[in-house]
Structure 1
Amino acid sequence: MTDSVRPLVFLDVDGPLIPFGPRWHGRPGGAARRSPDTGNPLLARVEPADGPRLAALPCELVWATTWQADANESIAPLLGLPDLPVVDIPEHDDREEPGGLHWKTPLLVDWAAGRPFAWVDDEISEADRRWVGVHHPERALLHRVDPGRGLTDADFAALDAWLRGL
């Protein structure tokens, strides 16, 4: 299957890949990791094992984050991922669109250009799901991740099952 027909997975960084809760000390039974020498202590929260799991998903991975191209410089190497395409995120003020719609939602639907996609983020709401259902002609999974835990085994299982079910 070529990338032009493979489903997309839009990845947010803060929350899903950089959790804000205790998981950054490692998975259960694991030891705390030393912060990478990057000048950004948040990068110590990235779980390197998530990279191979993301790469194994039957999809095209795309950054959908305010990190933008910095995700390829800072996050991808920690995960062992190649440079990924990046959704161009214009300046915004973090306010929701009318009706509670997240400001990323229309951008991602436009970027997908009719391809099936999953969106992994910690700020997805029912308003986003409804809007995508009306404005996107293909299947879409808007998968909300608990920002205190980041991506978990259950999140990876849900993504994999949805992608393989297409």
Structure 2
Amino acid sequence: MTGHMQRPLLFLDVDGPLLPFGEDPRRGPRATAVGSHLARLVPEVGRRLAALPCELVWATTWEDAANDELAALIGLPWLPVVSWPEPSDEHEHEDRWFGLHWKTRTLVSWAAGRPFAWVDDEITDADRDWVSAHHRGRALLHRVEASRGLSDEDFAALDRWFRAL
């Protein structure tokens, strides 16, 4: 497949976007016990993600456990997984200086120029600026509120962005 025919990527974080945590002032405290964390999954989120015109990729510290423990619960097939490199000092000082998220460089490298959206609860303007300067394709870094997870508004924004490509 040539680059222009490949579907854009959607890098998915788990904790926050798919598994909300913390307190949502609109709903009160959420369960934070480890045994109940999967109870916070919204089963329909998988169907909604699968309906987006993109290739889904796990971009989470869960790594392969996202496929093993989460995918079937929300109706997703096995998905590719971003493997995180061992931390190195090579860019650590520069990344801290710019306020970059530790995932940013790896995701840009993984995308290899393909258009991508990244949903995470820890994205900042520093990440957006770095990606726009270092990624030759289009990119949407979409911050999700960790206390509520992916919302109707988030899905609408992602759908609009993918369809506009």
Relative to the length of structure 1, the TM-score reads 0.84
Deviation at 1:98, TM superposition (A): 2.7
Deviation at 1:41, TM superposition (A): 1.9
Matched, 1:41 2:42: no
Aligned residues: 153
The residue number in structure 1 matching 2:74 is 79
Deviation at 1:90, TM superposition (A): 3.1
The residue number in structure 1 matching 2:15 is 14
The residue number in structure 2 matching 1:113 is 112
Residues 42-73 of structure 1: CA deviation (Å, up to 9, x unaligned): 11111001010000000000000000000001
Matched, 1:65 2:65: no
Within 1, Cα distance between the matches of 2:42 and 2:16? 12
Deviation at 1:40, TM superposition (A): 3.6
Sequence identity (%): 65
Residue ranges of structure 2 left out of the alignment (5+ in a row): 28-33
Within 1, Cα distance between the matches of 2:115 and 2:97? 25
Deviation at 1:2, TM superposition (A): 8.7
- Shift in alpha-carbon separation, 1:100–1:69, aligned structure 2, 3 A: same
Residue ranges of structure 1 left out of the alignment (5+ in a row): 29-38
Coordinate RMSD, CA, aligned: 2.5
Deviation at 1:91, TM superposition (A): 4.3
- Structure 2 residue matching 1:97: 3-state secondary structure: helix
Deviation at 1:16, TM superposition (A): 0.2
Deviation at 1:80, TM superposition (A): 0.5
- Shift in alpha-carbon separation, 1:128–1:106, aligned structure 2, 3 A: same
Within 2, Cα distance between the matches of 1:17 and 1:72? 13
The residue number in structure 2 matching 1:137 is 136
- Shift in alpha-carbon separation, 1:40–1:92, aligned structure 2, 3 A: farther
Within 1, Cα distance between the matches of 2:126 and 2:97? 10
